[in-house]
Amino acid sequence: MAQTDDSMDDDVFETVDDVNKKLNISVKNTGHPSPTGYRNYRPPPEVLKLCENDVIVSDEPVLHKTILLGDSGVGKTSLLVKFDTGKFQSGNFSATVGIGFTTKVVTVDNTKVKLQIWDTAGQERFRSVTHAYYRDAHALLLLYDVTNKISYDNIRAWLGEIREYAQDDVVIMLLGNKADCGMDRAIRREDGERLAREYNVAFMETSAKSGQNVELAFVAVARELKCRSTGQKDTNTFNVKDYIREQTEKPQCPPCTT
């Protein structure tokens, strides 16, 4: 007949004091029980050491630094304010001084993508300040104003600066802003598309005033950054240019009558 060993290892019943004695840990009794009931309990150093190399798993989404660039007056601040608050402030234009940021969380396929969006001053005199921020940027939204040919012509110079100061794999999106200004338009949509094709960057027209494509611009960037950070880029599962084409070619809602 097979024998079973019913005896239990006494270690199972060791008290915390016994374990501490074995491990040579002295515990000072302050007389104040901890909320867990294990007065002054601290895991033995051996146990703490085991945890040292553990990866800390956090629910916090990774922060992606995104910068708005372009000539003064193209609408960088307005675009960010529209995305952040849904509001457009027309009227007096006051140029941005220096640089500042807003943090927004965008949900992409049930995953939270945190964008730290930096609004830069477009004026030449702040250029050296803003260059310093390019280096660790993950995405750049480069704006021109469709009513201002100079701001469009300057895009080539901006792309030159980006190549010089930003990382090679930075996500770049060209935005032709103020698309609501039909009568004053100086740059056709096709011109924007052609320039974007030439530099192999994504493109869309936006309007901080009407809200056209404002959300889409940031969501497309967030999608691209999410794909890159999860390594999906290699499998070609997402292409920001195709995504924008699909989204912008979707039938729009009928024109408002009010």
CB closer to ligand GTP, 106 vs 208:
208
C-beta of 175: minimal distance to ligand GTP in Å? Answer: 10
C-beta of 92: minimal distance to ligand GTP in Å? Answer: 7
Task: Give yes or no for a contact between 146 and 205, defined as CB atoms under 8 angstroms apart.
Answer: yes
User: Strands, E, within the chain: which ranges?
Assistant: 63-70, 99-108, 111-120, 139-145, 171-177, 202-205
Distance CA 191, CA 176 (A): 10
Backbone angles phi, psi at 144, to 5 degrees: -125, 170
CB closer to ligand GTP, 62 vs 132:
132
Give the three-class secondary structure for 122: coil
C-beta of 79: minimal distance to ligand GTP in Å? Answer: 7
CB closer to ligand GTP, 12 vs 183:
183
Neighbouring CB atoms inside 10 A of 196's CB total 22
- Beta-sheet pairing, 171-177 with 111-120: unpaired
- Beta-sheet pairing, 139-145 with 111-120: unpaired
Distance CA 174, CA 74 (A): 12
CB closer to ligand GTP, 75 vs 196:
75
C-beta of 249: minimal distance to ligand GTP in Å? Answer: 21
CB closer to ligand GTP, 205 vs 224:
205
C-beta of 240: minimal distance to ligand GTP in Å? Answer: 22
CB closer to ligand GTP, 113 vs 221:
221
Residue where the block lists tokens 């640089």? 99
Rg, C-alpha atoms of the chain: 28
Task: Give yes or no for a contact between 151 and 71, defined as CB atoms under 8 angstroms apart.
Answer: yes
Q: By the criterion CB under 6 A, which residues form the site for ligand GTP? A: 70, 72-78, 90, 93, 95-96, 121-123, 177-178, 180-181, 207-209
C-beta of 127: minimal distance to ligand GTP in Å? Answer: 11
